[in-house]
């Protein structure tokens, strides 16, 4: 466990497992694993588990959505989006996000976006479904700017 204190107050706490996940992740997925480590740290420091998980998923989505994409998307762009959305899904599974009712809708939308991505190289309709799903996810994520970096816990 790695801990950081400010005036005897725990401000951040990371396990070696979180750091191992981050350092072992592909370079383009490392920011998502850092967000997950921030979530775990926030909870260890007293933040609400449900709110922090929502904020972590929202922050991960904003990071992913802000990635530039061509029209039509190039295969490597589709691959990047798919890997990042899958990483967000794994974060949700690891932390039992489906047990939080308010996260079920965005998690379903992530799955829809992934299914659309699988066909995006061959179908303009799939590209449109993917873009729609991502815009819906972006609108949801923008509601939760997050407190993962806050010292107000």
- What pLDDT score does 130 carry? 86
- What pLDDT score does 152 carry? 56
Q: Which of 55, 57, 54 is nearest to 85 (CA)?
A: 57
CATH code reported for the domain at 2-142: 1.20.120
Give CA separation, 115 vs 7, 78, 103, in Å.
48, 11, 19
β-strand partners of 14: 2
Task: Name the stretches of the chain with pLDDT < 50.
Answer: 153
d(C-alpha 28, C-alpha 49), whole Å: 26
- What is the residue extent of each domain of the chain? 2-142
Q: Which pTM value belongs to this model?
A: 0.85
121-133 residue pLDDT tens:
677 888 888 888 8
């Amino acid at each position: 466990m790695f801990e950081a204190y400010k005036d005897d107050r725990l401000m951040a706490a990371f396990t070696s497992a979180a750091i191992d996940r981050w350092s072992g992740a592909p370079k383009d997925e490392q920011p998502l694993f850092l967000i997950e480590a921030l979530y775990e740290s926030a909870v260890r420091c007293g933040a609400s588990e449900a709110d922090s998980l929502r904020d972590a998923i929202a922050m991960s989505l904003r990071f992913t959505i802000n990635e530039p994409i061509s029209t039509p998307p190039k295969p490597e762009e589709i691959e990047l989006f798919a890997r990042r959305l899958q990483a967000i899904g794994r974060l949700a599974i690891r932390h039992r996000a489906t047990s939080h009712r308010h996260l079920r809708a965005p998690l379903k939308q992530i799955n829809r976006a992934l299914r659309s991505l699988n066909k995006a190289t061959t179908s303009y309709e799939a590209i449109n479904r993917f873009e729609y799903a991502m815009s819906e996810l972006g609108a949801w994520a923008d509601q939760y700017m997050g407190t993962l970096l806050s010292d107000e816990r």
